[in-house]
A and B are shown apart, each in its own frame.
Chain A
Amino acid sequence: MRLNKSITAVLLAILALLPAAAALAHHSFAVYFDDSKIISVRGEVTEFQFRNPHGLIRLTVRDAGGAEQLWKSETNSPSILERRGWTKDSLKYGEEIIVEGWPARDGSHYLRMRKVSRADGTPVGVPFEQAEQK
């Protein structure tokens, strides 16, 4: 696996998240994910699944010590994402992205996507906050 850029994982605690921002889930978001925290993971895409009930992004992330970690990020239903400008080709293998979302309660390297940005900060599709204001 080629990793030519430094990759970091950053944990952010964000209080008072709007409940409406938390889910768009079909299986139980509230039970599986911790909606009191947001984490941000930066890494390279190794797989992008775009299918219902949820899409999935697999990432290779390098921790502070340089060791590789494998992360998975579950997305909203693709039928919802399509209306936000996503397609099955929105993410490419090897592309560096930043995924922001809610962590799994069990501490595994699994999160629920809230927002995805490319390495230069450009959002993929219409970020949730913008769509909310339409």
Chain B
Amino acid sequence: MSVLNAMRLRRALLAAVLLCAGAGPAMAAKAPHPDLSGFWMLSRARPIEDPVLAAKIAPGTVVLQDTGPVEYGSMNFGGLKLKPAALERAKHWNIKEDMTVANACRIPSIVYALQGPFPIEIFQGTEFTVMKLEYFDMVRVLFTDGRGHLPANGPHSKTGDSIAHWEGDTLVVDTTHLKEATITNNGLSHSDNVHVIERFRLSTDKRQLLATQEFEDPEVLDNRGARFITWDRVEGDHVHAYDCDPSFAENYAG
């Protein structure tokens, strides 16, 4: 092979590598959008009710005040209006029955998990973005390649099917195909047909990740719910393994 051909081959290989890498997280710096990548710890302060995000919340939506460590007590759902069947289920919910070996490591869906007091890590790409949640080792893939949702009869999971797009500096994530799971951790669960819209944007100083999570579930609720969620950027840390051990529940038995 001549020197000229070798140089051409090297250039072609380099171009191919860059083309492939552009589809994944490695090329986030070249993306024309804000880079949300990094390790984010849920803020201990009350979440910021960012006016840009607040303006996008649909009218008539109740904003829950349970983000982070705060939780509602029995039969308090923060203003969510439960359908009669959901209300009846909530009345009969018993936390002691919930804390069994079979249930102790039951994974919540992203509806509850995202606002919990655990960190997340984001790896942003151009065609998809990966979000790792420390809580229960959950991993989400947010597709930004223009695809639509899975067919209605597609598989459901606790992370669901997420497609996303950018609206200015805000990443808008639309999630369906979530399996039934808790909303408020006190007896209220969403159905398999819950629909979730999340919006993520950086604070002006890029030190905080600001978000809203909106959900609607006509099978269970008569109104829509939302939460504000704020994370603080932390350098040098990473999501740890959660490795939930269900035998913890034996401590409730005696």
| Interface, chain A (partner B; CB < 8 A) | 19-32, 49, 51-54, 56, 72, 74, 77, 79-80, 82-83, 131-132
Contacts and interface: CB of A to CB of B under 8 A. Distances in A.
Interface string B26-70: 000000000000000000101000000000000000000000111
Q: How large is the interface on B (under 10, 10 to 19, 20 to 34, 35 or more residues)?
A: 20 to 34
B134 A79 contact: yes
A85 to B, nearest CB: 14
Given A26-B135, A80-B117, A54 B71 contact: no
Interface stretch (B13-21, B97-105, B148-156): B97-105
Contacts of A23: 69-71, 117
Given A26-B135, A82-B240, 19 more contacts: A19-B69, A20-B68, A21-B69, A27-B104, A28-B71, A28-B95, A29-B69, A30-B74, A31-B71, A31-B73, A49-B248, A51-B245, A53-B244, A56-B251, A72-B251, A74-B251, A79-B118, A79-B240, A80-B117
A22 B134 contact: no
Nearest to B241: A79
Contacts of A25: 69, 71
Contact of B73 (A21, A30, A49, A54): A30
Contacts of A132: 44
B104 A31 contact: no
A74 B71 CA distance: 17
Nearest to B116: A26
Interface of B: 44, 46, 68-74, 95, 98-99, 104-105, 116-118, 134-135, 185-186, 237, 240-245, 248, 251
A27 B69 contact: no
A20 B69 contact: yes
Nearest to B103: A27
Which 3 pairs between the two chains have the least Cβ-Cβ distance?
A: A23-B69, A30-B71, A51-B245
A31 B240 contact: no
Given A56-B248, A79-B118, A79-B134, A27 B242 contact: no
B69 A24 contact: yes
Nearest to B93: A31
A115 to B, nearest CB: 15
B102 to A, nearest CB: 14
A87 B249 CA distance: 21
Given A26-B116, A79-B134, A52 B243 contact: yes
B118 A80 contact: yes
A80 B46 CA distance: 19
Contact of A77 (B68, B105, B118): B118
B44 A32 contact: no
Contact of B70 (A19, A54, A72, A77): A19
B72 A53 contact: no
B44 A30 contact: no
Looking at A23, A31, A131, the one whose CB has the most chain B CB atoms below 10 A away is A31
